[in-house]
């Protein structure tokens, strides 16, 4: 059982690797198609701008690889920006009006409303809306660590397993078949995050 962490230059992933090692998940950091295809699951991390990240994924010829792996039933976990890249498009495009994502989930990524402190940074609670596999053992009111300025406006609300309140209801956990996304960083979210990563480990089996 090995989890591939996609390397496309979108932030420091050492803390994620360390957390996964701690619970006994072997990892490999890669952007190579054959390695991604040979692993039990894939993590798409990310701490960067949507536009830059989407371009890097395309530059590494990873878009179709990721879509195909999902279609074949492989678990794909998106963390923070990685989850946002699952959607069809984002307003966070610099000088362009919209930037295309992977299109695995319907909807778009939008900026947090005016009047809120941006970025949304720090601990916030989860409100469980649907008990999916990734949230086994996690109750409403559990704290997770967020750092983001944009959030997902999901067109299919039945994929939302948990939200967090920051002046607007932000989808915090998404699950659709073998696609799982988290707006927060589980590797930085204490016991809650470690339990979620353990649940991901079980989903890999």
Query: What phi and psi, each to the nearest 5 degrees, are found at residue 118?
Result: -120, 130
- Separation between Cα atoms, residue 18 and residue 193, nearest integer Å: 13
- Asked if 60 is an active-site residue, the reply is no
Of the candidates 17, 80, 89, 148, the residue annotated as catalytic is 80
Contacts of 23 (CB under 8 A, 6+ apart): 194, 197, 198, 201
**Own/partner pairs, 30-37, CB within 8 angstroms, 24+ separation:** 30/4, 30/5, 30/6, 31/6, 31/7, 31/60, 31/62, 33/61, 33/62, 33/65, 35/4, 36/4, 36/6, 36/62, 36/65, 36/66, 36/69, 37/65, 37/69
The question of whether 39 is a catalytic residue gets the answer no
Query: Terminus-to-terminus CA distance in the chain, angstroms?
Result: 7
Selecting among 17, 89, 92, 187, the annotated active-site residue is 187
Per the CB < 8 A criterion, the answer to whether 36 and 72 are in contact is no
187 counts as catalytic: yes
Residues that are catalytic: 80, 185, 187
């Amino acid at each position: 059982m090995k989890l591939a962490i996609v390397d496309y230059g979108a932030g420091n992933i050492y803390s994620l690797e360390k957390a996964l090692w701690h619970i006994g998940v072997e990892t490999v950091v890669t952007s190579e198609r054959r390695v991604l295809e040979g692993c039990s699951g894939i993590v798409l991390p990310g701490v960067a701008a949507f536009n830059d990240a989407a371009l890097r994924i395309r530059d590494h010829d990873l878009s179709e690889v990721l879509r195909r792996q999902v279609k074949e039933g492989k678990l794909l976990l998106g963390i923070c920006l990685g989850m946002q890249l699952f959607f069809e498009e984002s307003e966070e495009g610099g000088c362009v009006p919209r930037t295309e994502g992977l299109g695995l989930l319907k909807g778009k990524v939008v900026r947090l409303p005016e009047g809120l402190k941006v970025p949304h940074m720090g601990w916030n609670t989860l409100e469980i809306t649907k008990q999916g596999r990734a949230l086994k053992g996690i109750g409403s009111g559990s704290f997770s660590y967020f750092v983001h300025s944009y959030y997902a406006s999901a067109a299919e609300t039945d994929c939302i397993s948990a939200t967090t309140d920051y002046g607007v209801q932000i989808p915090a956990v998404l699950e659709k078949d073998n696609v799982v996304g988290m707006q927060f960083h589980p590797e930085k979210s204490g016991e809650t995050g470690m339990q979620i990563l353990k649940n991901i480990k079980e989903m890999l089996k």
